[in-house]
Amino acid sequence: MCQVAEAYNDDLEQKEVPSVSKKCVKCKEAIAVVAIRAGDRYCRDCFEQYFRHKFRAILGKNRVISPGEKVLLAVSGGPSSSSMLRQVQEALSPNAHKKLRFIPGIVYIDDGGVFNRSVEERRQTVAKLQDIFQATGFPFHVAPLEQVLELPSSVLAAAWSSSAQRASSYTACADNVIGDASDNCLTAEPPREPSSPYVDQTRLLQQLIDAPKTLTAKEDLLGVLRQHLLVHTARCEGYTKLMFGDNCTRLAVKLISSISLGRGAQLAQDTSFSDSRYGNVMSLKPMRDYSAKEIAYYNHIFRVPSVFTPNLHTKSGEKASIQRLTESFVNKLQVDFPSTVSTIYRTGEKLQTTCKSSSSADPGPRCLLCACSLDTTIENASAFQSTRISECLSQTKCVADAGWTRQGEPCRPSVEERGCCSVASHRVPDATDIRGLLCYSCRLTVKEMSSVDRLPQYILSEAQTRQRRSRMREEIRDFLLED
C-alpha cells in the first residue's frame, strides 16, 4: 500500500522549471528573453523574425490578396489590431524581405457614444490614434458609430463581382504588378469630430443598444452594427479586402460562445481566415495564428503603441454575459492546460457548414443582420419548427406564421398570402415579421429587444423590401420555371 511517509516530494521538486536564461532554440547563441511555451524560447532578434514570418506566411499561404489591391485595416487601438498594423507597415517598407504589394488603408470606428463617453474623451482618443496612424503614412478614416443610423439599405445586399473578375487568379494579377503600392496611396483624411453633427444620433444609438435586455444580446447587436459600418466604409472608399485583428485566443472564445448562442451553422464563416459573405468586400483575419500571449510579448518588447478604449465588458463581472463567461472559462483553463486555446482553435479549422457556400454565385436567402445563410429553412418535422409553432400559438398579438389576427380570431389567408396575415406595405415590420428574415442566433438577439422600431431605418427598409419580394414571388410562383 502507499504510505504517507514515502518520499515522493523530493522527486516532484526536482522537476526542471522553465527559465528564460537559457539559450535561444533557434540561433543557439543568444540568451532567450521570451518563453512562449515550455520548449519555445527565443532571443529578441529570433522572436522578431518568428513573428514577422508567421504573419507573411498566412498571407502567402492563402493567396487572396492580389498585388495592387486596396486593403482596409480595421484598427480599434487594442493590442492585436495595433500589432497587425505594425506588421503591415514593416511588410510594406522598402527594405522588407518578400515585400507585400497591396495598398493599405486604416479605419477606426469611434463607438464612444455607446458607452456614455463625453465628447472631450472621444476627441482625446481620436487624437491619440490619429498620431499613430499618421506615423504609418497610410490613409486613414475615422467613422463615428452614429453613422450606422444613416446607412443605405444596400449595405445589406451582397454586391457580387462579375464572373470575369472572379475568374482572375492571383498569378495573373502578379504579372501586372503596379510598382510600389505607396505611390497610389490617397491623402490621409482628417478625422470627423464626434461633436455637434452626431448629438441627436448619439442619443438614438444609445437607445438602440439599450433595447436588448441582456448584455449578451447587446454585444451581438453592437458587433453587427460595427460590421455594417466597416463594410459600407470599405465599399465607399474602393477597398476590396477588410483585415481584422482577431487572434487565436479571441477566436477560441468566439467559437465556444457562438455555439452557446446558436451560431453553430455559421462557425465556419465566423472563425475562418477569409469570409466573403458581403461579396465584393472580403474579410480577412491574418492574426488568427497568434495567441494573446505572443502579441502581448511582441508589443511590450518592440514598444508597439496601443490605445485603450472601454467596451461593454469593462468593469463587468465574469458572469455578466455568455461571451464574458466563456472568455473567463477559456483563460482559466489555459493557465492549467496550455494547449486549451490551440486545441479549440485547431478544432474550429476543421468545421464545415452544410449551408450553401457564401461565395456562390447564387447566395440564396440570407440573414437580415449577420448576412449569413439562413439556418432556419429546414423541414417542418424538426425541433426548431415545433418550438416556433408553440411560440406563435402562445402569443396574443398578430402572429403571421400561425394565421391569427390581432383580435385573437383566426384569419383565412388567400392563396397569394400563403398563410400570412395581410400586412400593409407602409407598416413598420414587427418582431414576428423580422424574425422570419433572421438566422436562429439573430432571432434570439431580436427577441431580447423591447421594440424593433429602434433598429436603424436601413434594416427596417430592407425587411420591407424582402417581404414584398417574397409576396410577389408567391403570387407568380405558378408562372416561374424550375431551376
Rounded CA Rg of the chain: 26
Of 126-140, 172-186, 237-251, 420-434, the range with the lowest mean pLDDT is 172-186
pLDDT tens-digit readout, 203-261? 999 999 999 999 999 999 999 999 999 999 999 999 999 999 999 999 999 999 999 99
Q: In whole angstroms, what is the distance from residue 277 CA to residue 265 CA?
A: 14
3-state secondary structure of 243: strand
Q: Which of 278-282, 415-419, 426-430 has the highest mean pLDDT?
A: 278-282
Question: Could you identify the residue written with the cell 476590396?
Answer: 240
Q: How far is CA 156 from CA 238, 242, 346, 366, 371, in A?
A: 17, 16, 31, 9, 7
Query: How many whole angstroms separate alpha carbon 227 and alpha carbon 223?
Result: 6
Closest C-alpha to 178, from 71, 102, 105: 102
Looking at per-residue pLDDT, the higher value among 473 and 359 belongs to 473
- Domains in the chain with CATH codes: 64-160+182-349 (3.40.50.620), 383-435+451-479 (no CATH)
- What are the tens digits of pLDDT across the range 334-374? 988 888 998 998 888 787 665 544 444 445 688 999 988 88
Give the closest residue to 254 by CA, choosing from 242, 266, 243, 236. Answer: 266
The per-residue pLDDT for 36 is 84
Region for 264 from its dihedrals, namely left if φ exceeds 0, alpha if ψ lies in -120 to 50, beta otherwise? alpha
Q: In this structure, what is the dihedral angle of CA atoms 179, 183, 186, 190, given to the nearest 10 degrees? A: 140
253-259: long-range contacts (C-beta < 8 A, 24 or more apart)? 253/323, 253/326, 253/327, 253/330, 255/344, 255/345, 255/347, 255/348, 256/326, 256/329, 256/330, 256/344, 257/322, 257/323, 257/326, 257/327, 258/441
How are strands ordered across the β-sheet holding 70-74? 140-144, 103-110, 70-74, 241-243, 281-284, 274-278
Collapsing DSSP to helix, strand or coil, 181 comes out as helix
